[in-house]
Structure formats: C-alpha cells, structure tokens
Amino acid sequence: MSTTPRAAVILAAGQGTRMRSPVPKVLHRVGGRAMLDHAIDAAEALGCERIVVVVGDHSPEVRAHVVKRLGEAAVAVQDPPLGTGHAVLAARQALNGFTGRVVVTYGDVPLLKARDIEPVAAGEGLAVLGFEARDAAAYGRLVLGSDGGLEAIVEAKEATPEQLALTLCNSGVLAAETELLFSLLDDVKNENAKGEYYLTDVVGLARGRGLAARTATANEDAVMGVNAQAELAQAEALFQSVQRDALLEAGVTMPAPDTVHLSWDTKVGPGAVIEPYVVFGPGVVVEGGARIRAFSHLEGATIAAGAEVGPYARLRPGAKLAEGVKVGNFVEVKNVAMARGAKANHLAYLGDGEVGAGANIGAGTIFCNYDGFFKHRTVVESGAFVGSNSSLVAPVTVGAGAMVGSGSVITTDVAPGDLALARAPQQARTGWAARFMERMRAKKAGKG
C-alpha cells in the first residue's frame, strides 16, 4: 500500500425516494449491517486517515449514525443537493489541512471492498474506477484514448452510437490529490438540464489542462449501487453467495448452503456443520466441530467445538455454549453461559444466568428473569438436575448436584445436593371423574 496519506469522501446525501421506506437509503442493511457502514469499513481498510461522510440536511438519522461511529468532524452537509460534484465540494472544510489522495465513494454501494478501490487509490493523478458491464444500458461510458488513458466520461443519453457500443462503464468512484480534486471541482459548471454540478466533469476538465487521467476496473457486482428494494435484495443475495462460498472453501460443511443466511461478521470454524435454514444475526462465532441444526436462529452467541444447537433453537446475545453443550429444539437462550456438557434438550427459556458443567435443564423449564422493571440472574451449578416444567424465579441459585422436582416453582436458593419440591400435593377424589362424565353425557343427550 502507498505511503501517501489517504482520505475518503463518502457520498450519502441522496433522498433515496425509490426505496419507498421511512428508513434512509444508506441505513438499509446488507448482511445485517447498514450499507453506509460497509462503505466506512472499506475506507478504513484502505488506510484512510480521514473519512468524511456527506449527508443531506433532510436526514438527521444518517448524520446521527455517522457521528456515533466516526464523530462530528466526519460529517459534511450538502444543502441543498446540487449534484455529485457539489456534494464532494461540501467535504472541503472537513478535509481542511489534509494533504494526500482523496478517494470518493458512495454510501449505497455495499459490496465494494478496499481491494477493489486500491488500484485508483494508489499512484498519482486523477483515476476513475470502471467496470465491464454485462448490459451497459444507461451507465456512463469511459472513453479511452489510443494510449489507454481516460479521455472522457460520457453519459448514455449524450453518447454517440459508437460510444454506446462501449462496455467499460463508470462506477462513480474516483481518486485524486486533494489540491487537484478541489481545483477541478471549482471549475465544474452546472450548464445542464438539471442545473447540477457533476463529479464526472472533472475528467474533461483535467484533459483540458493537459493532465492525464487513468482507469482501473472492478467486478460489476462489487460496484453495484442500491436505489430500490429489488436492488437491495439483489445485493443481499450477492453478499450471501460470497460469504457462503468463503465458508465452504474454509472447510465448513453446509448441505444446503443456499438456505443459510449469514451476517457480515459471522465466524464459523473449519469442521463445523451448518444444517439447512439457519439464520445468523450479527456477532456469532461458531468453533470448528460444532453443529448448528436446521431452522435455528443465532445472534450475538458463541458456540464452542462439540456443542450442538437445535433444531429450532434460538440463541440471543450473550449466549455462550462451551464444549459438548446441547441446546435442543424450541429452546431459547439469552445472556446465559452454559459450561461443558450442560444440556437443555427441549422447550425451555434460559435468560440471564449461568448453567454449570453437566447440569441438565428439563423440558418446559423457565428462568423467570424479569420482574417488570429489572432483570435478575439464575444460577444452576454443576451437576444439578432441574425437572421438567419448572420455573426458577430469579434471583435464585440451584446448588451443585441439587435436584428440582418436576413442576416446581423455585423462589429460594437450593443448597448443593438437596432436592427441592414446590408444588401442591396431589389429591384423589374417588369416582368423581366418572360421575362428572355421566352427567355431561346425559345433559348432551337431553339437548339433542
């Protein structure tokens, strides 16, 4: 990577009206992460020491998002919106004092990575990132000279038939030295139908000064912009395909990979097995040798080697499963650490607490963790056995090796090795059921 300092200007001021959503366009998610965050990630991976996000005055949510991640100094406001060239000019003050190369990218291009941008970020002079289009359609064309240099960017509606035949198209991403970029932008005019200042005009202006411009290319999918819900779904599908292929290549077993939905930060170790229809939210780590069975949903969870989850399990943030843990069907675990060999095989809710090594949580068990105002912890120590259909009312501890009888409501601590029973005694009324049934049958027959 070049030693020349780098900065990024990320354009995120568009209205996004085609999304038809109350959520600002660049905050829509791909792989569980806002598209704008994908763009910031790429800029950081590129080594940009300054990142400026140009936002619109119409979108306080986007501004708040940028401030939370990068701070107030990273925000530039374009008001009113007068085109892409005008948007980059809005970042000038935020880049005050910066000397180096400035890369211009976009907050609605979530699949673009640092490796794609690097060829234009490196080197000197004006550089534009292009792509070979499968269907050039309405894309702007990159017109090259006989020496391979970039002569002009021509919009499709203004192109000649010969230029329309070109398939090398403009991604919108470019880079130049700070002084050169803003010098060229100062000369951009708005003499067009929309009365806007176009970033693409800098190429013609540079050539008019006798300066060279060059191109680099990226895969078309990498530079895909998202402007509508259908394109968001397409970007998600492309993202998922890349993530799945990477896991398969790394040695993860997925019998039906197309049914597995991954997040941007999902980590799965070699030798793990992911069965069909598993959904990973953000923050999941699965070690090699673990098995995630079908129709499970995981978020913010850590699963150690040899653990088994599901089918139909839900792991929420803070779930930590050690080696050999079994969380079975229709079990929900939230903010609970389960030690080696612990089991909750079916139909349980474990929220806020810990389960010791080798402990067994019976079917229908509930950690009653919420009193309407605060959350409380339940501790089931090593080797304890909690019988089916029990409610453990937190804060409460079931000691090591203790047992809880089925159907109990436990409200106080159970000492190690004790048996706790908390249920009404069973009563028998001889012949009551038979007499009741007989009366009911007679009553029904009378109405008939």
Catalytic machinery residues: 346
Cite the beta strand spans of 148-274 per DSSP E: 150-154, 168-177, 213-217, 267-268, 273-274
Q: What is the CB neighbour count within 10 angstroms for residue 58?
A: 15
Q: Transcribe 308-355 into DSSP letters.
A: EE-SS-EE-TT-EE-TT-EEEEEEEEEEEEE-TT-EEEEEEEEEEEEE
Q: 280 pairs with which residues across the strands?
A: 298
Q: Is 195 exposed, middle or buried, given 0-12, 13-18 or 19+ CB atoms closer than 10 A?
A: exposed
CA distance 100 to 177: 5
Structure tokens at 416: 């190690």
CA distance 386 to 410: 10
Report residue 35 CA to chain centroid gap: 9
Angle between helices 60-70 and 35-45 (to 10 degrees): 30
Side-chain half-sphere of 96: how many Cα atoms within 13 Å? 5
